[in-house]
A and B are shown apart, each in its own frame.
Chain A
Amino acid sequence: MRNPFVAGPDGRVTPAQAVASYLIVCAAVIGFFWLSLAMAGIALDFGFVARFRQRIADGLLLTLGISAASLVASLAIGVPVAVGQGSRVLPVRYLCDLYVKLIRGTPLLAQIYLFFYIVGTAWGVENRLVAGVIILSVFSGAYIAEIVRGSLSSLDAGQLEAARAVGFTRAQVLRYVVVPQLVSRTLPALTGQFASIVKDSSLLSVIAVIELTQTMQEISASTFNLFGTYFVLAGLYLVLTLPIMFVSRWFERRLSYAH
């Protein structure tokens, strides 16, 4: 009988082992928080959930909607930017480079305030939801550009030469050589980025987009139940992000067979 808490020499873990260890870890984490609550003398009260369930559900749905729309839009921004960073036209290359550096080098909170109250006001973006999706997409687009650029540059030049040597056209090279590898290398990271977008969308609460975080802050302000609301808030974000992270990991395993 081998030790149930140690992976096998070949790295294999049986489902029973995984479940047992995971349960122990979860119990330890929950125990730690429970102990912390007891030591800090905090009693949690979740009575507000039933009273505000409609608003919480609306906020959750809006968070999901904003995140999904931002994912699509940020892909539309990120992929061209990644290609543009390798462009032979220098102004295009440096523009893409500057965009990625500016966005990745500044806090999202600053971007939200500056975009909404300066750019948004100047160009007539009146709708908070639209402004929020644009800001989040521009923000996330820079990270997606980095993900795509990383996997583009990891393509082996020898493959492209080989493909051309056997007579593939440029379109065929793209279709049969570049895209399949690009997808398998970026999909796990892109899925992970989606989880980040879900979390980052919480900052849109500062311009009164009534997504999940704003909803919970409003509830907290009227019930004075800071700890209860933020516990539920964190739990609901986990409900959204954990499955996404699970899918990301699944893609990773699944697509590593591809080559």
Chain B
Amino acid sequence: MSIANAAFSRRALIASAVAAAAATAGVSGCSTASGGAGSSAGSNAGSRTLVVGMELAYPPFETRDDAGEPTGVSVTFMRDFAEEYGYDLRIENMGFDGLIPSLQTASADCVMSSITITDEREEQVDFTDPYAVAQLAILANASSGISSIDDLNQAGRTVAVKTGSTGDVYATNNLDQAEILRLADESACVTEVSQGRADGFLYDQLTIYRNQLANPDTTVAVYIPFQDPEYWGIAVQQGDDELREELNAFIAESKRNGEFDKLTETYLADEKAAFDELGFRWFFDFDEGSDAGEGA
């Protein structure tokens, strides 16, 4: 229903003045109206609206600040893109499951929400070139004795995953011995592990690293070697080559001109230091794994 609503409000936006944007876009729209539309809209006369779907629940990539305004790596990235290409940016917050459907119903123009490019998803939407690379890790219960992915893939072991995440896909395809526990909520997965109900939680390295810090006595972080890297892309509606090409150009430029280093410094300085120490591959580090390019 909310998606249908968004479709109507979007039409209204295009037809009416920019002033309507703040009113119809709701909470998440307010900040973009001040950031994107407020300052730059005047100079880009007749500018185009760009509705970006995000799940604002994955700090520091997509999240809200203390005042409830969208913030994070993806938010800043899309703002910079919108400014350079003359778009009025509007960020729509929605559940992860609703992101791809929002493109299919044209209630969003693109989705930037730390989405891994997969074959299944490419049947539903088109992806830009990858802008980041991520790998999975295990949050294991400290007393489970698990020190590798093979320890986890045993009969009698239980693996918690977030429903529909790449951890879910990996577990479904690779962990044929363990029981897979699919939960809707990330923090429920962590609770399962810290209480020992599940032996491990399979998710991206950043989340695992953070949750291990939050539960130092009950959990350990376990690195998974030899996995295909996961590439994150921005999803657009199928056939929307114009927007996809613009985004590709901006991503390529950002890799060259240090935009991603700037984002790292702003949002991820501590994590970068920790990843370097652990030997984890950094999100925007494309040189190292260029040989594994067709992994996705």
Contacts and interface: CB of A to CB of B under 8 A. Distances in A.
Interface in A31-78: 36, 39-42
Contact of A206 (B164, B172, B184, B197): B184
A227 B4 contact: no
B270 interface: no
Contact of A41 (B7, B181, B185): B7
Contacts of B188: 113, 117, 206-207
Interface in B150-182: 163-164, 168, 172, 181-182
Interface residues of B, number: 26
Interface string B88-112: 0000000001101100111000000
B121 interface: yes
Interface string A16-30: 000000000000000
A205 interface: yes
B39 interface: no
Interface in B122-172: 124, 163-164, 168, 172
A220 B163 CA distance: 9
A217 B96 CA distance: 12
B182 A214 contact: yes
A21 to B, nearest CB: 27
B101 A227 contact: yes
Given A40-B4, A224-B120, A224-B124, A206 B183 contact: yes
Given A40-B3, A117-B195, A224 B101 contact: yes
A121 interface: yes
Contacts of B163: 217-218, 221
A124 B7 CA distance: 48
A218 B242 CA distance: 34
Interface string A165-207: 0000000000000000000000000000000000000000111
B7 A221 contact: no
Nearest to B102: A226
A126 interface: yes
A205 B181 CA distance: 11
B182 A218 contact: yes
B124 to A, nearest CB: 5
A36 B1 CA distance: 10
A221 B185 contact: no
B191 interface: yes
Nearest to A226: B101
B121 A224 contact: yes
A230 B268 CA distance: 37
Interface string A204-233: 011110000010011011101011000000
Interface residues of A, number: 22
B160 to A, nearest CB: 8
A205 B121 CA distance: 24
Nearest to B196: A121
A222 B182 CA distance: 12
Interface string B174-212: 000000011111001001000101000000000000000
Contacts of A222: 120, 164, 172
Contacts of A218: 163-164, 182
Given A221-B97, A224-B101, A224-B124, A40 B7 contact: yes
B181 A208 contact: yes
Contacts of B120: 222, 224
A43 B168 CA distance: 27
Contacts of A227: 101
A226 B7 contact: no
A226 B197 contact: no
B3 A205 contact: no
Contacts of A224: 100-101, 120-121, 124
B49 to A, nearest CB: 18
Interface string B1-38: 00110010000000000000000000000000000000
A62 B279 CA distance: 46
A40 B97 contact: no
Contacts of B184: 205-206, 217
23 contacts: A36-B4, A40-B3, A40-B7, A40-B105, A117-B188, A117-B191, A121-B195, A126-B197, A206-B185, A207-B183, A207-B188, A208-B182, A214-B182, A218-B164, A220-B164, A221-B97, A221-B163, A221-B168, A221-B182, A222-B164, A224-B120, A224-B121, A224-B124
Question: Which 10 A-B pairs have CB atoms at the shortest separation, nearest pair first?
Answer: A221-B164, A40-B4, A226-B101, A221-B163, A208-B181, A224-B124, A224-B100, A121-B195, A208-B183, A117-B191
